[in-house]
A and B are shown apart, each in its own frame.
Chain A
Amino acid sequence: MSQTAEIQPGGVGTQAFGPRDAARLVARTTAVDAVGLEERAASLGKRSIKRESKLWALDLAIRCTDLTTLEGADTAGKVVAMCAKAVRPNPIDPSIPSVAAVCLYPELVPVALGQLKGTGVRVASVAGGFPSGLGPLDARLREVREVVEMGAHEVDIVLNRSLFLAGRYAQAFEELRAAREAAEGVHLKVILEVGELGSYDRVRQASVLAMAAGADFIKTSTGKLSTGATLPSALCMMEAARDFSRETGRPVGIKVAGGIRRSKQAVQYLVLLYETLGPEWMTPERFRIGASSLLNDVLMQIDKERTGRYQGPDYFTID
């Protein structure tokens, strides 16, 4: 047995992998030691990011944010307000950049597109049976095609954990490939839902499967479970992306989502990214944070860094 590479070299681009390769890919995935992974994540989480480097990180955190609302109770009014916040996170401070994208349910894509026209903020829609990834395949694929036709720039789909955890890798892979084709030309993020995978070995295998199927991004979580993104699971996915990029030449982005509410957490993920994937990943093209309440905490921290004082929460708009 040789384990020099998870992906056969030379397989540049997504066409190199077929469903037959999927099971082999998963079987050949490098093992992950939970103790060592968690230790490394904790040690990177302790990096002390101060002054200019902190301001730089907070600015980047905003530029990498997918401002998200994924509630059954979402309305056009709620989305209009969120879009305004996405473009101008702090209306009285023009130095604060816009976020990368808004992320919402398909029904609300047209509203967001109308609001964000000409702003550079992108519209991302969940699709494909979010958040379970189950339901008839043709319905799920139709949903993906529809949001693309509506004009969404990015689609966040979910891995079929039912197939993946049952060991039906080829089928799970084929579903992802079908979604990739349905979402042709748009930015495809595949949510692994790490909180349901049960081990870091599984997180790594799912990462490899999704990247080989053509995902532009792999994403930790739906945000619908009590366990969202964690530093070790994000690190595990980053290590998989680093090796995938080295072996195939294709860079895949990372999106962390679920439970990221504080600036400190955002900075910790950026440290992980920086020390694992390097500076080329420190851009919204390759890194996103899916969050709703994080943004105001980042704004508050930026103010604190600049003025040395904390402002109360009422000085930042709730949208």
Chain B
Amino acid sequence: MSEIERREDRTPGRRGPWAYSSAPEGREIVRLQDRYDLFVGGRFIEPKSGRYFETINPATEETLAQVAEAGEEDVDLAVRAAREAWEERWRDLPGKERAKYLYRIARALQERSREFAVLETMNNGKPIKESRDVDVPLAAAHFFYYAGWADKIEYAFPGRTPRPLGVAAQITPWNFPLLMCAWKLAPALATGNTAVLKPASTTPLTAFLLAEVIEQAELPPGVVNVIPGPGGRTGEWLARHPDVAKIAFTGSTEIGKILRRSVAGTGKRLTLELGGKAANIVFEDAPLDQAIEGIVNGIFFNQGEVCCAGSRLFVQESVFEVVLDKLKARLDTLRVGDPLDKNTDVGAINSRDQLEKITELVQSGIEEGAEIYQPDCPLPERGFWFRPTLFTNVSQSHRIAREEIFGPVLSILTFRTPEEAVEKANNTPYGLSAGIWTEKGSRILWMAERMKAGVVWANTFNRFDPSSPFGGYKESGFGREGGRHGLEPYLDLDGSGR
């Protein structure tokens, strides 16, 4: 960490005399263990696989801990523990009792919010201001929200007889490690299911802290189990396990397709929240300065490692130049560096693999003839970093306009009429989110009706709330998380057992 600080202090900045002194959030609040064991049946146990893998801080490349890897036998143990807990301790528990546990978890998340935020930032690379102000508060909010539903499930679906499904296999991504655990666990537990959670291999630490909270909340043993491991092995064993009734996956479209194939014909329920290539559409009458903030938030929030990131910017041609000018000036003010510094806007890329993928796609953009703009901000020497990047002269056929980059890279395109904006925005295999910037209310409604996207934001972007359903169209997946809609994938509504 000291290396990052020194580098920052050495650089008074091309922005003049006022280099902000470093303002690091203290990491003392986090007590890292050398080793993290599997959380199965309410206890932390060594893996039968005997294997441990390293987890690092992507901003410094320092090793944070050794983490147990769940082998096939471990997966089986975890699923059986969850099954037993479901049948004997959870399925028939009254909703209001389940709610008590969820409220306890939510409150513990709030009480230990700083610890969660710092650990999340250390393991993921995201800026502390985001983990502190977005990830952790939203995770607590999800538990509070679904705690409220736990004793009202039958009223959510009038005339139906909702029943829990059984063991839910929950596979979460590395971009919002804790928040995605909350998105998955809260509705599953509220509806009376038990869970086996497989956190992403590069970011398992906050899932263990959550397991600690769950243990403290005295949740019956086996209701939640945490078993990290590589997606290709642990994830696949988990998804194929015969006692799993439901799979909830957030991650890449590629893995989503594999999962869908593997559950075909098994009767297992499946929801997929996959990739995206969202259009952020700016009309000439938009509140331009706020649109600039929305564009920046849309693509540089969490280093662009967001499935719903606004990675394709469509600007009406009449304001293209002024938007581009403002955007470049704004990019120059982004503070890239030590994620634990409270003033950092853009943190570290989560892994070397991801950095290589971003680099490769950006290279393809240059080779295909797009024009690149990057601020010349200083980057730390160690760790995985990528400068905020803009591409102009992009056409629909370029790879950077079609493929999900999952990094701080924005492709800018133009349009002339609303019809053209709709046509171009929908011209993608994905359909997760979209943004519309205009002062004209009627145009917002007209556009929202036509966008093939699960979420459409108007004059804002990347705004989340537990009461609002989230999910995609087309290759962005299916099923909804959040809101009343988010209960349904965890329920058998008509006693069919499915």
Verify if A278 is at the interface (C-beta below 8 Å from B). Answer: yes
Contacts of A282 in B (CB 8 A): 16-18
Contacts of B293 in A (CB 8 A): 36, 39-40
Nearest A residue to B333 via CB reads A275
Verify if B426 is at the interface (C-beta below 8 Å from A). Answer: no
Contacts of A126 in B (CB 8 A): none
The 9 tightest CB contacts between A and B, nearest first, are: A279-B16, A36-B290, A48-B23, A33-B287, A48-B342, A33-B290, A51-B21, A53-B21, A31-B287
Verify if A117 is at the interface (C-beta below 8 Å from B). Answer: no
Stretch at the interface among A1-9, A62-70, A101-109, A165-173: A1-9
Verify if A54 is at the interface (C-beta below 8 Å from B). Answer: yes
Nearest A residue to B437 via CB reads A33
Contact yes or no, B20 A49, CB < 8 A: yes
Verify if B288 is at the interface (C-beta below 8 Å from A). Answer: yes
Is the interface on chain B under 10, 10 to 19, 20 to 34, or 35 or more residues?
20 to 34
Partner of B19 from A39, A53, A239, A270 at Cβ < 8 Å: A53
Main secondary structure of the interface of A (DSSP, over half): helix
Contact yes or no, A2 B318, CB < 8 A: yes
Interface residues of A, Cβ cutoff 8 Å to B: 1-5, 30-33, 35-37, 39-40, 43, 46-54, 56-57, 239, 246, 270, 274-275, 278-280, 282
Nearest B residue to A32 via CB reads B287
Contact yes or no, A31 B286, CB < 8 A: yes
Main secondary structure of the interface of B (DSSP, over half): loop
Contacts of A36 in B (CB 8 A): 287, 289-291, 293-294, 459-460
Contact yes or no, A47 B285, CB < 8 A: no
Partner of B289 from A1, A30, A48, A49 at Cβ < 8 Å: A30
Verify if B445 is at the interface (C-beta below 8 Å from A). Answer: no
21 CB-based A-B contacts, threshold 8 Å: A1-B318, A3-B319, A4-B318, A4-B321, A4-B322, A5-B322, A31-B285, A32-B290, A33-B291, A35-B290, A35-B460, A36-B289, A36-B294, A36-B459, A37-B287, A39-B293, A46-B129, A53-B20, A278-B15, A279-B15, A279-B17
Verify if B234 is at the interface (C-beta below 8 Å from A). Answer: no
Contacts of A275 in B (CB 8 A): 333
Q: How far apart are B456's CB and chain A's nearest CB, in angstroms?
A: 16
Partner of B459 from A33, A48, A49, A279 at Cβ < 8 Å: A33
Q: How far is the CA of A62 from the CA of B293 in the complex (A)?
A: 31
Contacts of B15 in A (CB 8 A): 274, 278-279
Nearest A residue to B438 via CB reads A31
Verify if B131 is at the interface (C-beta below 8 Å from A). Answer: no
Can you name 18 extra interface pairs (CB under 8 A) apart from A3-B284, A35-B459?
Answer: A1-B285, A2-B284, A2-B318, A3-B319, A30-B287, A32-B289, A33-B291, A33-B459, A35-B460, A36-B294, A37-B290, A46-B342, A48-B343, A50-B22, A51-B21, A278-B16, A279-B17, A279-B18
Contacts of A32 in B (CB 8 A): 287, 289-290
Q: How far is the CA of A215 from the CA of B435 in the complex (A)?
A: 37
Q: How far is the CA of A278 from the CA of B19 in the complex (A)?
A: 12
Contacts of B287 in A (CB 8 A): 30-33, 36-37
Contacts of B318 in A (CB 8 A): 1-4
Verify if B353 is at the interface (C-beta below 8 Å from A). Answer: no
Contacts of B20 in A (CB 8 A): 47-50, 53
